Amino acid sequence: MQLHFKESGQGRALILLHGLFGSSDNWHHIALRLAENFHVFALDQRNHGQSPHRDEMNYSLMAIDVNEFMASRGIETAFVIGHSMGGKTAMQFALQFPQRVEKIVVADMAPRAYAPEHEKILAALLALDLKIYSSRTEMENALEPKIPSLVLRRFLLKNLGRDSGGKFFWKMNLSALAGNYPKLGEEISSKEPFKKPALFIRAGKSNYINAEDETRIRELFPQSQIQTVAGAGHWLHADQPAEFLRLVLDFL
C-alpha cells in the first residue's frame, strides 16, 4: 500500500488523517498553518482520494498503511492528527504502533462503536449512474431527494474525477466503502493503553463525543485531555479553524 500524500513545511513530522468520503484536500488550510511549525504529511487513506483501492478495509489495516507510509519516508516518529474516521485510524495506529507516535490529536471521535449513519448516503451514491450526467450540477440535483444538504452533496461530489474522454468516475472506492462500512463503525480496543499524550477535541454542536465516552477514552489513553470547541459542528476544523489550531498548537 503506497498512500498518496501532500507534503509541506519542515521540522518534526506531523501526519493528517481525513474522515470518511474525504481526502487530504480537506486539510488544505489547516496544513498550511501547521507547516509553519512542522513537516506536514496529509494522507489519502486507502479507498479515498488518489490512494490505491483495496477490497479489505478496517482500522488495523489502515494503521498498518500509516506505518508503511512512515517507513517508506524514513520517518521514525510523528505527531498524528485525525478527524472522524481518521480519528479512529489515529487511535488504532497509536495503540498498535506506540513507538511510532509522539502525541495524537483526535478531532470529534471517540473509541466506541457508532450506529450506521451513512448507509443512505452510500446507497444514493451507488445508485447514481455517472454515465448519464454531463455536469456536477446535474448530479447535485439528482442527489437532492436522498441527500437534502447542498453542502454535503458538494463535499461528496468532490470525489468525482474525469477520465481522458471526459467521463466522470469516482476517485474513492465506493463498493469497498459500502462493503466494509460496518467495520468502520466498530469500536477501537486494545489490551494495552497508549501512555503518551493525547488530545481529544470535541465539537460543541456534535454528539460524537459525549460524557459517557470520557471513561473509555481515559482507559485507552490515560494521558489524554478533552477540550471542546463550543460553536463547531462535526467538521470542527472547518467550522472554527482558528480555535481548532489554537488547541492543537498549544498541545503539540
| CA dist., res. 17 & res. 123, Å (int) | 25
Residues of the chain with pLDDT under 50: none
pLDDT given at position 240: 94
pLDDT of residue 166: 87
Summarised one tens digit per residue, pLDDT across range 1-15 is 999 999 999 999 999
Cβ atoms within 10 Å of 115's Cβ, excluding its own: 6
**Contact at 8 Å (CB) between 198 and 79?**
no
Reported as a single tens digit per residue, the pLDDT across 46-96 is 999 999 999 999 999 999 999 999 999 999 999 999 999 999 999 999 999
What residue spans define the domains of the chain? 5-114+187-251, 119-181
Residue whose C-alpha is closest to residue 94's, from 107, 81, 112 = 81
- The per-residue pLDDT for 88 is 98
Q: What is the DSSP letter of 45?
A: P
- Separation between Cα atoms, residue 29 and residue 207, nearest integer Å: 25
Return d(Cα 177, Cα 247) in angstroms, integer.
Answer: 31
**Residue 165 has what pLDDT?**
86
Question: Which CATH architecture describes the domain 5-114+187-251?
Answer: 3-Layer(aba) Sandwich (3.40)
Residues forming the active site: 84, 234
Residue among 8, 4, 33 nearest 17 (CA): 4
- Rounded Cα distance between 194 and 92, Å, is 10
CB distance 1 to 67 below 8 Å: no
Place of cell 481518521: 86
Strand order across the 13-17 sheet:
5-8, 39-43, 13-17, 78-83, 101-107, 198-203, 224-229
